[in-house]
Amino acid sequence: MNRLSPKKLLNSKWTAAQPQNKEKHFIITDVETNESGEVLFCTMEAVMSKREFNVNWQDLKNSMVWHQGWK
């Protein structure tokens, strides 16, 4: 399990454990929060293709899917 602080999500780097569409490396480009400051979701961008998608920030804790940093 990845240790993760919601305050340090923005601009953090991630590697997909099982790359799809030749996309392996990602960066968090936006973090959406509610009025009380709780993180709702993050926007990830593939480094090579620039494709963006939303991901639940809690899913990033699963080390079977995501690795913190670029490997």
Q: Give this prediction's pTM.
A: 0.89
pLDDT score at 69? 94
pLDDT in 10s for each residue of the chain, 71 residues:
777 888 899 999 999 999 989 999 999 999 999 999 889 999 999 999 999 999 999 999 999 999 999 98
What are the structure tokens assigned to 13, written together? 């780097």
Compute the half-sphere exposure of residue 43: CA atoms within 13 Å on the CB side of its CA. 8
* Beta carbons of 45 and 51 less than 8 angstroms apart: yes
Tokens representing 16 are: 């997909």
